[in-house]
Amino acid sequence: MANWVLKGLRTGIKTTSYPQQLETAQGTSPGRPCGMVLESTEKAEDLVARCPTQAIAGQDGGVAVDIRRCIHCSRCRSDSDEPAVPWDASYEWATYNSDAAAAVQALEKVFGRSLHIRFVDAGACSACVSEARQLNNPYYNMHRLGFFMTPTPRNADILLVSGPVSDAMRHPLGKAYDAMPEPKRVVAIGACAIFGGVFGSSFAAAGGASKIVPVDVVVPGCPPPPLAILHGLLLVVGRKPPSQPVSPVTEPIGEPA
């Protein structure tokens, strides 16, 4: 056993400095597509048509991108000379689900700085589950921020939901929510939990967590990287501001018009 202690000590500290500083290591996030100025409407229409989930919308003079509908399929970026939108390397994507943000914010203080989390997999593809699981690994270590998993919904402050809510999971999800004491919050992680993702609403899936339980915070991404989920949790306790989910029509930074 002494070997293991030594091994652990030798490995040193690997934990990210987020949220004190932004994480700059490569590969922590797939990044997100951004809105851009386009000179022709044909190019805008082409981009809108290439997006399978209507995350890209044509607007005056270009396209805007809503990260909440993005599934990172990369079809709006291209290695050839087709029109492509720029992608940044961000991950702070979490935002309030509704415009009643003021009411949500007023309640943030009741949680203090700590949260107990109940996770319900409502039909996720398991990439969301895998990314959430990374929060326990030494790189992200959510415990240092006062976030803990709880074995019972009775002790839970927030319900973390992934997946489009498959038909058989609608009752377990609803029951988990009902069993939680007030005040409580629901955080939907991933495109599927936000709007159904590639599965949509069908005979087998509700098409989003908000069809079953009231969702307060959404964490976009397919899957949202661990840092994005962390941002969502920090948003719930009021330690980080929400993101701007729609990237407007703007000039790409560093590129001439």
The bridge status of strand 246-247 relative to strand 62-66 is: antiparallel
Count, residues near other proteins per rule CB under 8 A: 68
Examine residue 22 and tell whether it contacts other proteins (CB under 8 A).
no
Interface residue with other proteins, options 37, 48, 57, 73 (CB under 8 A)? 73
Interface residue with other proteins, options 37, 48, 57, 129 (CB under 8 A)? 129
3-state DSSP assignment of residue 162? strand
Site string for other proteins, 208-247 (x = CB under 8 A): --------------xx-x----------------------
**What residues between 138 and 177 interact with other proteins by CB under 8 A?**
138-139, 149-152, 163-164, 166-169, 172, 176
Which of the ranges 3-11, 35-43, 91-99, 101-109 carries the binding residues for other proteins, by CB under 8 A? Answer: 3-11
E strand or H helix at 121:
strand 115-121
Examine residue 7 and tell whether it contacts other proteins (CB under 8 A).
yes
Examine residue 205 and tell whether it contacts other proteins (CB under 8 A).
yes
Burial profile 140-165: b = 16 or more Cβ within 10 angstroms, e = fewer: bbbeebebeebeebeebbbbbbbbbb
* CB of 113 vs other proteins, minimal distance in Å: 22
